[in-house]
Structure formats: C-alpha cells, structure tokens
Amino acid sequence: MHAPLLAPSLLAGDHANLGASAAVVSQLGLTWLHIDIMDGHFVPNLSFGPQIVTALRKPSKLFFDVHLMLDEPHRYVEAFAKAGANLISIHIEPAYDHAATLARIRALGCKCGIVLNPDTPAESIAPFLAQVDLVLVMTVQPGFGGQSFRQDMLPKIAQIDRWRRERGLDFRLEVDGGIDVKTAAECRSVGADTFVAGTSFFTAPDRAAFATAMANL
Ligand code: DX5
Ligand code: ZN
C-alpha cells in the first residue's frame, strides 16, 4: 500500500503569483503539485496552458501532477511533457485513442494516469489499469475548485482498490475535489493514497499542520 501523499492543487493558489504558490508547497517539504488544465469545452472553465507549466518548471523541483481536462488531450500531451510535466492524466470520457495516448505519454518520458468523472462507472477504466501509474477518481464534477466532496464516490474508490489488489497492480489511487482531512480519511479507508487538495490546503490557517495531518492519514 502506498503511503498517503498530499498533492496541493495550484488552481487554488495565487494566480498573480503562481511561482510563490508552488514555492509554498515545496517549502513545506511536500513533493507533488497538482496542476489543472482546462479547455472551456470538456469543462466550462479555463485555467493554465503549457507556457505557465514551463515557467513554473524552471525554479521548481516539485513533481508536476498534470490533470488534463481536455476534449482532445492527445493533441496536447507532447506540449505538457516538454513543459516539464512528470505525470500526465487524461480523462476517459472523450472519444480518442486512450491506450495510444497513455503509451505516448510514457514514450515522452512521463508517468501516465487515467481519470474518471463522478458519473462515469469504474468499469470504463478497467481495461487500462495495467497500463497506468495512477487512477484519478473525481470526487466532484471537474471544472471548479471549492465544491463539496461526493460521498457516493466511496464505493467506486473501493472497487478500483479491489481490482488493484486482485490484479497485483501498484498504480496510485488519487482523489480530487472537496478533499480535506476528514474527506481524505474517508477515501483512505477505502484505498485512496494520493490526495489533491486545493481550497483546504491554500486556505488552511496552519498549512504545515494540515500537511502533517494528511501525511498521518
Ligand atoms: C477541479 C480540479 C481540482 C480542484 C480541486 O476540477 O480538478 O483539482 O483544484 O479543488 P478543491 O480541492 O478546492 O475541491
Ligand atoms: Zn484536478
């Protein structure tokens, strides 16, 4: 079982000073930064492009966990790999060649992940489990930070964790949306090990205490 890992989401950082927000994460001794990429089509919002990832990459040693919320992710994986992504996750919902795109991400030297929305059944990603380094279960409808955690995602997380154990796989199982210490503990109890936290991390009165609590889940 993987140790619990906190991945603060830059979406909730200071958009006028993203480098400083990334530095806050590394100064706490954390190693991952979750970076949300939105295209205004797959989700009704826009966020960051590859140039921002390139700019953040230069001063940072953080592991960039790049979550592509795009209708055509296959068209952009190369740009984000070149920009310095360490892991690139793609959604299952749009129609494109998922297996080929995961293979392409690996060929570009990155780890790869598959993501599913709250209304997408676990079965949809089952064929890809042996091919990925991470499965990301959305615990809110993607597009915006600050939404409430969906309790009804817990059985889905448990199912994916069951498949992982049954098949002897070791991908990380990440959750994203409405994650705080309490909801992370619920996800941990059913097998999640990687916790994206935007609002709860950046608004925590004591971020070091928050990080410690997440590390001790
Ligand atoms: C939502 C993004 C999340 C977002 C989470 O579409 O994928 O990564 O930053 O924000 P919080 O933690 O505030 O729910
Ligand atoms: Zn995300």
For residue range 169-213, list pLDDT tens digits in order: 999 999 999 999 999 999 999 999 999 999 999 999 999 999 999
Under the banding of pLDDT at 50, 70 and 90, the label for residue 1 is confident
- pLDDT for 151: 98
Mean pLDDT for 106-123 is 98
- pLDDT for 78: 98
Q: Which atom of ligand 1 is nearest to the CA of 199?
A: 13
User: E-assigned strands of the chain?
Assistant: 5-8, 32-38, 63-69, 87-91, 111-116, 134-138, 172-176, 194-197
- pLDDT for 3: 98
User: E-assigned strands of 92-171?
Assistant: 111-116, 134-138
The pLDDT tens digits for 45-95 are: 999 999 999 999 999 999 999 999 999 999 999 999 999 999 999 999 999
Ligand 2 midpoint to CA 177 (Å): 7
Ligand 2 midpoint to CA 95 (Å): 20
- pLDDT for 107: 98
Scan for tokens 């960051």, then name that residue.
48
Decide if pLDDT at 132 tops 90: yes
Catalytic (active-site) positions: 36, 176
The pLDDT tens digits for 9-35 are: 999 999 999 999 999 999 999 999 999
Q: Which atom of ligand 1 is nearest to the CA of 11?
A: 9
Neighbours of ion ligand 2 (CB under 5 A): 36, 67, 176
